[in-house]
């Protein structure tokens, strides 16, 4: 699944699966490294999605403040 079409929840679920897989002691080293790399990538993706959501909330709050200010002037 491409990063652009994956939701935060989907990325987080995949990250949790990576963590569980890394907790298993019987997986080969190469597979562990690949899973770790995927986990790092998913962590960055989740962080970016959270940052986007935070920025959206801040933008909406700012818009709400501007509306309140214009209502006070009316």
What is the CATH number for 52?
1.10.287.1040
Name the residue with higher pLDDT: 64 or 30.
Answer: 30
Q: Is the pLDDT of residue 74 over 80?
A: no
- For the chain, what percent of residues have pLDDT higher than 70? 92
Asked whether residue 2 is assigned to any structural domain, the reply reads: no
Asked whether residue 13 is assigned to any structural domain, the reply reads: yes
Q: Is the pLDDT of residue 5 over 60?
A: yes
Asked whether residue 53 is assigned to any structural domain, the reply reads: yes
Structural domain containing residue 12: 7-73
Q: Is the pLDDT of residue 43 over 80?
A: yes
Asked whether residue 1 is assigned to any structural domain, the reply reads: no
What integer pLDDT is reported at residue 38 of this predicted model? 98
Q: Is the pLDDT of residue 13 over 60?
A: yes
Domain count, the chain: 1
Asked whether residue 19 is assigned to any structural domain, the reply reads: yes
The b-or-e profile of 4-33 (16+ CB within 10 A means b, else e) is eebeeeebbebbeebeebeeeeeeeeeeee
């Amino acid at each position: 699944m491409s990063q652009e079409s994956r939701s935060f929840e989907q990325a987080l679920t995949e990250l949790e699966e990576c963590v569980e897989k890394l907790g298993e002691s019987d997986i080969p080293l190469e597979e562990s490294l690949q899973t770790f790399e995927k986990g790092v990538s998913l962590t960055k993706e989740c962080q970016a999605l959270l940052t986007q959501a935070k920025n959206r909330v801040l933008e909406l709050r700012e818009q709400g403040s501007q509306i309140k200010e214009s209502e006070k002037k009316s």
